Amino acid sequence: MSDKRSVSNPNQQVTLLVVDDAAVIRKTLRGFLEEEPVIKLFGEARNFTEAISMTAALKPDVVLLDLYMPDDCSFKPAFVKANLSACRVLAMSLSGDYESEQEIRSIAESFGAVRTLDKAKLLDQLIPAILQTEN
């Protein structure tokens, strides 16, 4: 059994941390998520350093993690994965950032993500992915 928090209770708010270096993405997600009462946006991080610190302090149920943050090249996936292991991690990227879907999935898995979301389709995929109870 996983030690990650369950999000199976439909009456309980799911807490979320958004991690993306692009302010416009964070702002768009914030506005979109304000309309969803079952999801509580705990915070927003601009990089892996902030994500790890905020995850430790806030203990969100789900972390929505941008895979491509150019300022964070020094972070090793295993280190990030270990520091986010108490949360369910959803990765997001633009498919054009990588060579193939397989490359995206492989990178996402190395960071501990249970699912990868395409930013181009994010608003359609996001709520079901956050509320999904199984990996």
Indicate the pTM of the whole model.
0.84
5 pLDDT exceeds 70?
Answer: no
Question: Cα–Cα distance between 134 and 75 in angstroms, integer?
Answer: 28
Place of tokens 């949360």: 87
Distances (CA, A) of 1 to 61, 76, 93, 105: 16, 26, 29, 23
Structure-model confidence comparison of residues 49 and 15, the more confident one:
15
Arithmetic mean of pLDDT over the chain:
83
Task: Please give the average per-residue pLDDT across 90-96, as a whole number.
Answer: 81
Helix, strand, or coil here: 54? Answer: helix
Please say whether the beta carbons of 115 and 4 come within 8 A.
Answer: no
Tokens of 96: 């054009």
Task: List helix spans (H) across 1-135.
Answer: 23-33, 48-58, 77-83, 101-110, 122-131
> For the chain, which residues make up each domain, given as ranges?
35-62+75-94+111-135
Identify the pLDDT of residue 69.
79
**Closest to 128 measured CA to CA, from 2, 54, 38:** 38
At residue 87 the predicted structure's pLDDT band, cuts being 50, 70 and 90, is very high
